[in-house]
């Protein structure tokens, strides 16, 4: 059995908040794609509603909204959980996870080649 391709975590640090996104399952035959998301803030509460502020964008422009957030609700200075998406069909060659955060003018982007 061939080993699954590993996708490196991508980290974004801005405005006192660090966000690390790690793909956990991006197999072409998977029904659901899973991303581990970890936030660390220095002084502000983490009020992100990830199901409504994140979108997965395929290389052809298709957008997929998250189907679930499995983690703690908004609040606190540290937060970790798993963000799930219905896997896009056909599978793209690359993806970008875009996260809009309150008070930030542009979305944070996290990219991977599949």
**pLDDT tier, 5 (very low <50, low <70, confident <90, very high otherwise):** low
Task: Give the other-Cβ count within 10 Å of 95's Cβ.
Answer: 24
Per-residue pLDDT for 4 more than 60? no
Per-residue pLDDT for 44 more than 80? yes
Per-residue pLDDT for 3 more than 70? no
- For the chain, the domains span 10-103
| Structure-token pair, residue 82 | 């798993």
pLDDT digits (tens, 9 = 90+) for 23-32: 998 998 999 9
| Structure-token pair, residue 14 | 């801005």
Mean of pLDDT values over 13-36: 95
Q: Which residues of 1-39 are buried (b: 16+ CB within 10 A; e: fewer)?
A: eeeeeebeebeeeeeebebbbbbeebeeeeeebbbbbbb
Per-residue pLDDT for 54 more than 90? yes
pLDDT digits (tens, 9 = 90+) for 67-103: 999 999 998 999 999 999 999 999 999 999 999 998 8
Give the CA-trace dihedral at 75, 26, 64, 88, to 10 degrees.
Answer: -160
Give the pLDDT score at 88. Answer: 94
Is the CATH number of domain 10-103 3.40.1400.10? no
> Residues 89, 81, 105, CA angle at the centre, nearest 5°?
80
The model's pTM is 0.92
């Amino acid at each position: 059995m061939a080993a699954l391709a590993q996708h490196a975590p991508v980290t974004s640090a801005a405005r006192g908040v660090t966000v690390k996104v790690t793909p956990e399952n991006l197999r072409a035959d998977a029904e659901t794609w899973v991303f581990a998301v970890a936030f660390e803030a220095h002084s502000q509460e983490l009020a992100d509603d990830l199901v409504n502020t994140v979108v997965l964008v395929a290389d052809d422009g298709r957008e997929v909204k998250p189907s679930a957030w499995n983690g703690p609700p908004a609040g606190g200075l540290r937060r970790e959980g798993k963000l799930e998406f219905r896997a896009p069909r056909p599978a793209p060659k690359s993806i970008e996870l875009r996260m809009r955060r309150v008070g930030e003018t542009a979305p944070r982007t996290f990219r991977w080649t599949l």
